[in-house]
Structure 1
Amino acid sequence: MSDTDSFIDEVTEEVRRDRLFVMLKRYGWIGGLAVVLIVGGAAFNEYNKSKELAASQKLGDEMIAALSSEDESARAAELSAISAETPGGAAVLAMLQAGALAEADNLDEAVARLQTVSLNAELPLVYRHIASFKALGLQQDSLSSADRRLQFEALAQPGAPLALLATEQMALLDIEDGDVNAAIDRLKTIVEDAGVTADLKERATQVIVALGGKLDEAVTSEG
């Protein structure tokens, strides 16, 4: 390489360094701002997590204190005085309030609390289905068999969180309507389901036997 070429390379490199220095001097604040934003964002997230945890602990303590009351009416009143800051916490609280109201023989208000949860589209499906299931259980004497069947059918759709429990309730409605064969068939689908719990399987099996039905030997041996 000639001295001229070497000199040109050195000048070019120097120019590059000068340009880089000017760029950093002119736009370096952007990098600094990015660092501040990243650190600030992480701190804000940690603050939010800490705030949510504190709120959850406070809600849990208040619910436990209210549930410790031995008087049904007092328990319902204390639970009704509690408020929750998150949708999930509010849903759990509403279901506890409904339970206390039902124990205090205030079924209409209990059902109303549960229905607000079941109709809240912002909540996960499992919350809404549990609330619907509990509400239907409280309406055995006030809702017709046909209306309860229609709502339990919606809860018993494949893949639904409470599908097997809703199917069990539909089998009981079959028995109530005098359709024993339909009840046995429904209960068999529960027993044969891979996701059935031991308690539900045993309960369904006992009802099948009580109704005069028979189970496959393979299913019986698995139990």
Structure 2
Amino acid sequence: MANQNDSFIDEVTDELRRDRLFTAFRRYGWIAIALILALVGGAAWREHSNSRAESSARAWGDAIMAADDAENRVAALEGIDAGDVAGRKVLAEMLAAGAEAEAGQADKASQRLLAAADEPGLEPLLRDLAQLKAVMVAGAEMDAAQRDGILAALSKPGAPFEMLALEQKAVALIGAGRTEDAIVLIRQIQQKDGLSEPLRRRLAEMMITLGADPDEAQGPGPQSTTVAPSE
């Protein structure tokens, strides 16, 4: 009799457990279903968004290539819709500035690059690149104080274009007739780690042009690498 009672109690307990589970599922099961649908829907949306972004980037790239082959490259590049992507707009502006520089419009190209560098939401790397290109394109025609300010920021230790900005400082010193300061600065650059081979060659060529030994050891630092005249 005891075994029968125990069996009956077990059956009742199982039934109660199943009934409670069914009740809980009816009460909370929709949450699990909603979570599953959200996960599946989110994955589908991400895939759709990625596909749209890829198509947009491909179309923009095709437009850039077509504009580069156009007779009026600047106008063609200006007509490309970059959407709300600041980087695309600035890259197109850089290409347009390059076309202007090739056409002998260095000042116009430099102003375009400086304006592009001020584009809201632009990544710091592209901003720095646009500013550096503006200095290189303008050359001696850029206001010395403006050039010095830009190069001072770009040549800070660890900056992405530190070496190239230092090279432009040396170029500016040479242009200002400060040969000795330029030589000392070039030697300092030559001692830095991570110097690319093309830059190393350019620095050596600059030293030869200045009548200095391209491989001479580093000397004392210059009094100042600022080119703008002091007031």
Do the two structures share a fold, i.e. TM-score over 0.5? yes
Q: Once the 2 structures are TM-superposed, how far is the Cα of residue 187 of structure 1 from its aligned partner?
A: 1.5
Q: 1 or 2, which has the higher helix percentage?
A: 1
Higher relative CO (Cα under 8 Å, sequence separation at least 6) belongs to: 2
1:56-71 equivalences under 5 Å are 56-69=57-70, 71=71
Coordinate RMSD, CA, aligned: 2.3
Structure 2 length as normaliser, TM-score?
0.81
CA distance in 2, matches of 1:63, 1:208: 39
2:195 maps to 196
Matched, 1:46 2:44: no
Greater CA drift, 171-180 or 25-34: 171-180
Unaligned runs of 5+ in 2: 218-231
CA–CA separation in structure 1 for the residues paired with 2:52 and 2:182: 50
TM-score (norm 1): 0.84
1:10-29 to 2 correspondence within 5 Å?
10-29=11-30
Mind listing any 5+ residue stretches in structure 1 that lack a counterpart? 218-223
| 1:84-103 equivalence runs, <5 A | 84-85=82-83, 86-103=85-102
* Fraction of identical pairs, as percent: 36
8 Å CA contact 2:170–2:186 kept in 1: the answer is: yes
* Shift, 1:109, TM fit: 4.6
Structure-2 separation of matches of 1:194 and 1:67: 36
Q: 1:185 to 1:5 in 2, by over 3 A?
A: farther
Counterpart residue number, 2:162: 163
Report if aligned partners of 2:87, 2:122 keep a CA contact under 8 Å in 1: yes
Q: Is the 8 Å Cα contact of residues 140 and 172 (structure 2) preserved in structure 1? A: no
| CA displacement, residues 51-108 of structure 1 (integer Å, 9 cap, x when unaligned) | 1111111111111111113x4xx11111111111222222211211222233344555
CA contact (8 A) 1:152 1:167 kept: yes
